[in-house]
Structure 1
Amino acid sequence: MLEVEKEKAAYCTPLPSSPILYQVKDGNGGGIDELKVNLADRTCTCRKWDVTGVPCCHAIAAIFDIQAEEEDFVHEAYRKTTYLRAYNYPIVPCPGERHCPKVDAPMIPPPIKVGPGRPRKKKEKGST
């Protein structure tokens, strides 16, 4: 995902407003679009960075302008250390159905709800 956005960033022109705020002109879609990128909050007007956690092409253009590594701006959920921490603990196996305790509770169906609106006719249209 990051590599695709890096290719699109070649068509973006970052204009710094401050060291962390940028106005980025995007020429990808034929016309020119102007978006606001905040590197400190990790947000962009297109909201792609906000939703995915991976910098969009506008943010990458701003990151290239400050000569930083774009991998440092990717959300930590995509990092290898997070993956290894998530699968660090063993998964406890479940016993089979045969070894589950027996329960003597009666099986009662859920109550029937009457839907809103007029009830349907019992007679079908095609019958005489």
Structure 2
Amino acid sequence: MEWQPRWAGDLKYEVSHKNRMIQERFVVDLLAGSCSCRFWGLAGMPCMHACSAIFMKGDNPEDYCSNYYTPAAYMACYGTTLNPINGENMWPKVELETIRPPIFRVKPGRPRRVRIREHDEDRSQTKLRRSGTSVTCNNYGQYGHNRRHCPNPDITGNNPGSETAAP
């Protein structure tokens, strides 16, 4: 993408780019260290809009980065050595009572049948469906139906789904 900065006075620039049918424009303030896309304020380093304005001014973008990205700040944070610790078998033994979980109490009232779902959880799936399984008839062992809807008459005549069942 080619961003085109235009000087707007002081250290402010208007950076624009024509993206397909939309013309994008951002306001960059080099003195305040901000851009209207808000990346510079969040990350602490100039965004691509700010970099195009910095290049137009003739400066180095590294000069506009936050002090947290300097080697001195890195060494101040990670320069100290970490003291090693012994393994768990070398820890001193403590003669205290072990922590027990709280006592489970049954809450008053009727228990919930369905758990409370999170706000981002899909609420359309309320029942589990038996998809991909085949039903077997208990009378004859045939697939595709159960005993209640068996098209074959039961030998004893006790088939509830058959019209020819004995009274």
Code of the aligned partner of 1:23: E
Show the counterpart of 2:68. 77
Q: Quick one: structure 1 residues 51 and 118, their matched pair in 2 at CA, closer, same or farther if it must change by over 3 Å?
A: farther
Consecutive unaligned residues of structure 1, counting only runs of 5 or more, are 1-7, 122-128
Q: Quick one: structure 1 residues 43 and 120, their matched pair in 2 at CA, closer, same or farther if it must change by over 3 Å?
A: same
Show the counterpart of 2:100. 108
Tell me if structure 2 keeps the 8 A contact 1:26–1:58.
no
Q: Quick one: structure 1 residues 109 and 68, their matched pair in 2 at CA, closer, same or farther if it must change by over 3 Å?
A: same
- Of all paired residues, the percent bearing the same amino acid is 32
- TM-fit CA distance, 1:59: 0.3
**Separation in 1, partners of 2:10, 2:51:** 14
- TM-fit CA distance, 1:88: 1.6
Q: Quick one: structure 1 residues 69 and 107, their matched pair in 2 at CA, closer, same or farther if it must change by over 3 Å?
A: same
Q: State the Cα deviation string for residues 55-109 of structure 1 (Å, max 9, x = none).
A: 1111011111211111111222222222222222110112221222222223221
Pick aligned residue for 2:49 from 51, 58, 68: 58
Consecutive unaligned residues of structure 2, counting only runs of 5 or more, are 114-167
User: How many residues are aligned here?
Assistant: 110
Q: Specify the structure having the higher radius of gyration (Cα).
A: 2
> Which of the two has greater helix per residue?
1
Q: Quick one: structure 1 residues 108 and 45, their matched pair in 2 at CA, closer, same or farther if it must change by over 3 Å?
A: same
**Separation in 2, partners of 1:49, 1:113:** 52
Show the counterpart of 1:120. 112
Spell out the pairing of 1:20-59 with structure 2 (5 A cutoff). Answer: 20-27=11-18, 29-30=19-20, 31-59=22-50
Tell me if structure 2 keeps the 8 A contact 1:26–1:35.
no
Q: Quick one: structure 1 residues 119 and 24, their matched pair in 2 at CA, closer, same or farther if it must change by over 3 Å?
A: same
Q: Quick one: structure 1 residues 78 and 118, their matched pair in 2 at CA, closer, same or farther if it must change by over 3 Å?
A: farther
Q: Structure 1 runs of 4+ off > 3 angstroms?
A: 110-115
